[in-house]
Structure 1
Amino acid sequence: MDASSAFQDTLPLSSDALLAQLDDWGLTYQLHTHIPLRTVEDAKGVEDQFMVPGENALRLKNLYLRDKKKRNYLVTLEQSREIDLKALGAALGIGSLSFGSADRMFQNLGIRPGAVSPLAMINGVQNDVRFIMDAAAQQADVIYMHPLVNDRTVAMPQEDLMTFFDKIGCAFDWLP
């Protein structure tokens, strides 16, 4: 199975159910559909189709990581930001980090590789996933991310994303 909406009914929470929840909470977003995007490079190839020129937007890359104590982390970064996992672990005071497996990611975030997103914290908070977000998000007006599948992207005002985190009880750390 891939990470597209064709298989969303196999997720613990479908993309459609997430979008309905966002609507119920009165959160604003624009939904865009496109070919499945598996990498940042794939995303760069289609973002011109829906990005607004001059918009103060943040496009993301997301890393599902684990430490030696088997704790889980979702790290969300500006898509072009370079990251050194050793330095990141040291900066967060958690030691060595490595990528988590697809099976663990599905178990803890309810998503498949290619659809990693801050919105997956709707599942992650229940599984003690620690969320860390690039401080660049504080300056963005709009944040682009997948709604649990990789053939859809939502453009959400930053304030609404912060409200989403409040609604799901997701505390997080800012990464300078």
Structure 2
Amino acid sequence: MADGEVRATYQQCIAELDRLGIKYTVVDHPAAETTAQADHYIEGLEGARTKTMFLHDKKQRHYLVIMDDRKRMDFKAFQEISGAKRISMAKDEEITAELGLRPGIISPFGLMNNQEKDVQVYIDQMVLDQPIWTFHPNENTHTIFLANQDVLRFIEAHGFSYQVIDLPA
């Protein structure tokens, strides 16, 4: 998807989850610009608060990392785990080109727009251990709750595999 067009919408996400028969719950709320704001809007509800990082390396390979939103991304540890060199945050235009998403609203749901299937997916063990995960479903005015196994099924249904990693706390 080289044209850089934002393609991943809330409606696209919901339609795809429905097509796959994946059950979910959605909480509508005001726009959340940070994970702290999003967490406030869903306070008291069960589910791991996640953040999804979209990274690239010096060879412009892309990595999607799903982790607990309380953890800080340890770039050095990720490089050691993945074998990648010079990991950094992907540029806004890469996020849009590779995932069809707006910067700041990255989730595994953008994988359905990666036609080349060239994004490597990593999931932190701390999140994997939680039965329910939360994400923005391609818009920051909603938070979606899904079973962890359904998120994994979504990833695999779009032609991606994933690696489980143990990022330092």
Q: TM-score, normalised by structure 1?
A: 0.84
**Residue in 1 aligned with 2:64?**
74
Q: Which runs of 5+ in 1 are unaligned?
A: 1-9
In 2, Cα distance between equivalents of 1:17 and 1:84: 32
TM superposition shift of 1:170: 1.4
In 2, Cα distance between equivalents of 1:60 and 1:113: 16
**Residue in 1 aligned with 2:106?**
116
TM superposition shift of 1:78: 0.4
- AA at the equivalent of 1:164: F
Question: How many residue pairs align between the two structures?
Answer: 162
TM superposition shift of 1:73: 1.0
Residues 115/88 of structure 1: CA separation in 2 closer, same or farther (3 Å cut): same
Asked if 1:151 corresponds to 2:141, the answer is: yes
Whether the 8 Å contact between 1:90 and 1:96 is mirrored in structure 2 is no
- AA at the equivalent of 1:172: Y
Q: Tell me, what secondary structure is at the counterpart of 2:116?
A: helix
Q: Which runs of 5+ in 2 are unaligned?
A: none
Bigger fraction of residues in helix? 1
Residue identity (%): 26
Residues 127-166 of structure 1 correspond to what in structure 2 (within 5 A)? Answer: 127-166=117-156
Q: CA RMSD in A?
A: 1.7
Q: For residues 16-56 of structure 1, what are the alpha-carbon distances to aligned partners after superposition, in whole Å with 9 as ceiling and x for unaligned?
A: 022012112210000111111222222232221xx42xx3x
Q: For residues 83-141 of structure 1, what are the alpha-carbon distances to aligned partners after superposition, in whole Å with 9 as ceiling and x for unaligned?
A: 22122112211122011111111000111122111222222363511111111232211
In 1, Cα distance between equivalents of 2:58 and 2:131: 36
Whether the 8 Å contact between 1:125 and 1:168 is mirrored in structure 2 is no
In 2, Cα distance between equivalents of 1:94 and 1:125: 22
Q: TM-score, normalised by structure 2?
A: 0.88
Residues 144/125 of structure 1: CA separation in 2 closer, same or farther (3 Å cut): farther
